[in-house]
Amino acid sequence: MGIYKSYAVFGLGRYGRSVAKELVQSGAEVLAVDSDLSIVNSAITEIPFCKCADVTKAEVLKQLGVANIDVVIIAMAGNIEASVMATMLCKEMGVKTVIAKCSNEMSLKVLKRVGADKVVFPESESGIRLAKNLLSSGFVDVIELSKDVSMVELNVHKDWVNKTLLELNLRKKYSINVVAIRQDDSVRIDIDPNERLEESMKLIVIMNASKMGRLKD
């Protein structure tokens, strides 16, 4: 399982729908919402829990049970007013993580100001990539190098702390190759396999995408 248990996606345009679809296909619990009934009807075959609703109204969000959802992705970059209102309401209701899509630097600043925990530009972060990052427990970032191979930045697991890469033998166990270590603001590619890993480190690895699920344990 990933870090989170439940997700909501507000706005089912191309970006929002790709996020929701990827989450659903990975077995996550997903609530998808759009204000356009025709869009909802077209998406329901791929995303079972689709609702047509106005997410800028507090009462509507309460009825949808948004307060019990771990992560809300607000994918309505074309409507900054709706995005701002939905972000504010979600944070007021206690949603732990709100991720908002934006279209420009001004929108980014506004959404951050009203409480968005993360703001993404769809041009630089695809919906599928965002979904994979959310689903991958311990993964900081995932970049698809090809259909089969990904570059992944991940946290040092608790049981890896104070052990060396030589001792862990991650290549044999997980089929991953550690190419760099990030710590604080520096990235090192001259890795000593006998260096003991610290909790503050992040490992940058290249691995087969099909093996990623093995790191969720």
For 163-180, write each residue's pLDDT tens digit: 999 999 888 887 888 888
Nearest CA to 6 among 76, 57, 66? 66
Asked whether residue 145 carries a pLDDT value surpassing 90, the answer given is: no
Q: What amino acid occupies position 29?
A: E
| Calpha distance 84→112 (Å, rounded) | 9
Instruction: Tell whether 93 is covered by a domain.
Output: yes
Asked whether residue 181 carries a pLDDT value surpassing 70, the answer given is: yes
pTM for the full predicted model: 0.63
Higher-confidence position of 155 and 74: 74
State the CATH number of the domain containing residue 189: 3.30.70.1450
Looking at the fold, whether 12 and 81 belong to one and the same domain comes out as: yes
Domain region containing 177:
137-216
- Given 134, 162, 190, the domain boundary residue is 134
Looking at the fold, whether 53 and 101 belong to one and the same domain comes out as: yes
Strands of the sheet with 97-101, listed across from one edge: 50-52, 29-34, 6-10, 71-74, 97-101, 118-120
State the CATH number of the domain containing residue 72: 3.40.50.720
Percentage, residues of the chain above pLDDT 70: 82
* pLDDT tens, position by position, 30-39: 999 999 999 9
**For position 59, what pLDDT does the model report?**
95
Calculate ∠ Cα 66-134-62, nearest 5°: 0
Looking at the fold, whether 126 and 143 belong to one and the same domain comes out as: no
As for how many domains the chain has, the answer is 2
Looking at the fold, whether 113 and 144 belong to one and the same domain comes out as: no
Looking at the fold, whether 196 and 125 belong to one and the same domain comes out as: no
**For position 210, what pLDDT does the model report?**
66
Mean pLDDT to the nearest integer, 102-117:
86
Looking at the fold, whether 100 and 48 belong to one and the same domain comes out as: yes
Asked whether residue 42 carries a pLDDT value surpassing 90, the answer given is: yes
Q: Which long-range contacts (CB under 8 A, 24 or more apart) does 189-196 make?
A: 191/165, 193/164, 193/165, 193/166, 194/164, 194/166, 195/164, 195/165, 196/162, 196/163, 196/164
Looking at the fold, whether 130 and 146 belong to one and the same domain comes out as: no
Q: What is the mean pLDDT of the chain?
A: 84
Looking at the fold, whether 34 and 48 belong to one and the same domain comes out as: yes
H or E stretch at 69 = none
Looking at the fold, whether 84 and 191 belong to one and the same domain comes out as: no
* pLDDT tens, position by position, 58-94: 999 999 999 999 999 999 978 889 999 999 999 999 9
Looking at the fold, whether 126 and 199 belong to one and the same domain comes out as: no
